[in-house]
Amino acid sequence: MNIDEHLLAEAKIRAARGHQSLGEVIDDALRLRFAAVDRPQERVPLPTFGEPGERMLVDLEDRDAIAEMLGDNAGWDVTERRDVDR
């Protein structure tokens, strides 16, 4: 069996800190991984508004329009906004 040297080093550190054997740490890690794979992913419903195909109320590509709709532009002049991406 080949184990990535960084993972093996981390496993050894965790074993020493937890007063466990290296085998116990690896067993625990595999149990957690297998349990996560076997557990079905919970779907979280997202809220929707309006009817499908309706015109959007704001262009999601226009950050100024989104900020305006959310009220983030209140109290300052957007024409003087400095580009924070630079």
Containing structural domain, residue 33: 5-38
The number of domains in the chain is 1
The reply to whether 29 falls in a domain is: yes
Token pair, residue 53, equals 């195909």
The answer to the question of residue 14 being in a domain is yes
> Cα–Cα distance between 18 and 1 in angstroms, integer?
24
28 domain residue, yes or no: yes
Q: Residue 86 — very low, low, confident or very high, per pLDDT cuts 50/70/90? A: very low
| Residue 58 included in any domain | no
| Domain annotation covers residue 47 | no
What radius of gyration do the chain's Cα atoms show? 25
| Residue 25 domain-assigned (yes or no) | yes
**What dihedral do alpha carbons 24, 25, 27, 33 form, nearest 10°?**
160
Q: What confidence tens digit (pLDDT) does each residue in 8-66 have?
A: 999 999 999 999 999 999 999 999 998 887 777 788 887 777 777 777 677 778 888 88
pTM of the full structure: 0.45
- In-domain check, residue 55: no
